[in-house]
């Protein structure tokens, strides 16, 4: 099977799994991650099929989105086998999708992803910052009944994965200090680092205006 046919099938498999999501990981997020991965690929000497397949599949077997992530993982492998991916390609793609996320890296040492994984990780992280990042944080916070802001809750500095997922003392604004503002220094590729600069300014300006308005300074 040729690459474009394989990618078309991966896209529609991903669509079926993701289109119902209402926590900010819908298919629109997937499409932006694929598009950004494609853009980053231009400057990197990475395998296109592995990169874009991992981009399409990166959020499907995530324990925050599905109750049984092992069976979601098994379903992905069966699907890839049916679509003529080799065992080696399947191993690479599943290694990337299992080790990409911000929350995974809270509990473990930072894993060394292959270049294809570094690209998808950058694309996924870029989608969590800037104007889109602001909307996604608010959308996720609303879906999880977080408070908007409470100055008596201090942002948490170092968190385990369980603490990160414990939202009882979380606010949408604190999420920026706990994660989103730190993303620009965690990116892998030069291109992503450049793109992140403007998005960082967008978030900083949003937070400054938010606090001004909160305190009714103007
Ligand atoms: P990952 O899948 O990389 O671990 P997350 O689940 O942490 O990513 O984040 C997915 C999206 O949800 C991001 O846009 C992120 O900012 C947002 N998000 C995650 N946790 C929170 C939170 N506590 N409050 C607001 N938004 C959040
Ligand atoms: Ni994602």
Q: What mean pLDDT is predicted for residues 130-134?
A: 98
Is residue 128 within 6 Å of ligand 1 at its C-beta?
A: yes
pLDDT at 35 over 80: yes
CB-ligand 1 contact for 175 (6 Å cutoff):
yes
- For every residue of the chain, DSSP letters joined together read --HHHHHHHHHHHHHHHHTT--SS-SHHHHHHHHHHHHHHHTTS---HHHHHHHHHHTTTT-TTT-S-HHHHHHHHHHHHHHTT--HHHHHHHHHHHHH--TTHHHHSPPP---HHHHHHHHHHHHTTSHHHHHHHHHHHHHHTT-BS--TTSPPPSS--HHHHH--TT-BHHHHHHHTGGGGGGG--SHHHHHHHHHHHHHHHHHHHHHHHHHTT--
Please report which confidence band the pLDDT of residue 67 belongs to, taking 50, 70 and 90 as the band edges. Answer: confident
For the entire predicted model, the pTM comes to: 0.93
- State the Cα–Cα distance between residues 93 and 190, nearest whole angstrom: 23
> Is it the case that residue 22 has pLDDT exceeding 80?
no
Q: Which ligand is nearest to the CA of 167?
A: 1
Q: Which atom of ligand 1 is nearest to the CA of 146?
A: 24
Q: What is the pLDDT of residue 25?
A: 80
Average pLDDT over residues 135-148: 94
Ion ligand 2: residues, CB within 5 A, are: 59, 124
Q: What is the mean pLDDT of residues 91-114?
A: 81
pLDDT at 133: 97
Q: Which of 107, 128, 146 to mutate to test the pocket of ligand 1 (most atoms within 8 A of CB)?
A: 128
Q: What local confidence, expressed as pLDDT, does residue 77 receive?
A: 96
Q: Mean pLDDT of all residues in the chain? A: 91
Instruction: Report which of residues 161 and 126 the model is more confident about.
Output: 126
Nearest ligand for residue 128 CA: 1
Q: Which atom of ligand 1 is nearest to the CA of 164?
A: 23
* Ligand 1 proximity of 58 Cβ (cutoff 6 Å): no
Which residue has its alpha carbon closest to ligand 1 atom 2?
A: 101
Structure token pair of residue 121: 């990780």
For residues 75-94, average pLDDT:
96
């Amino acid at each position: 099977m040729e690459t474009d046919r394989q990618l078309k099938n991966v896209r529609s498999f991903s669509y079926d799994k993701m289109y119902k999501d209402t926590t900010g990981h819908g298919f629109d997020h997937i499409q932006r991650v694929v598009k950004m991965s494609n853009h980053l690929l231009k400057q990197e000497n990475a395998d296109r099929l592995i990169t874009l397949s991992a981009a399409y599949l990166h959020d499907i077997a995530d324990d925050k989105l599905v109750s049984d992530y092992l069976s979601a993982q098994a379903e992905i492998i069966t699907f890839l086998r049916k679509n003529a991916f080799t065992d080696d390609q399947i191993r690479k793609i599943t290694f990337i999708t299992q080790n990409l996320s911000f929350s995974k890296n809270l509990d473990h040492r930072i894993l060394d992803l292959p270049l294809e994984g570094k690209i998808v990780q950058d694309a996924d992280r870029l989608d969590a910052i800037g104007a889109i990042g602001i909307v996604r944080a608010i959308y996720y916070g609303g879906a999880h009944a977080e408070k908007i802001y409470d100055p008596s809750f201090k942002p948490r500095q170092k968190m385990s994965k369980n603490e990160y997922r414990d939202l009882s003392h979380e606010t949408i604004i604190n999420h920026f200090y706990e994660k989103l503002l730190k993303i620009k220094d965690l990116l892998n590729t030069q291109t992503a680092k450049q793109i992140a600069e403007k998005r960082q300014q967008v978030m900083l300006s949003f937070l400054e205006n938010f606090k001004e308005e909160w305190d009714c300074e103007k």
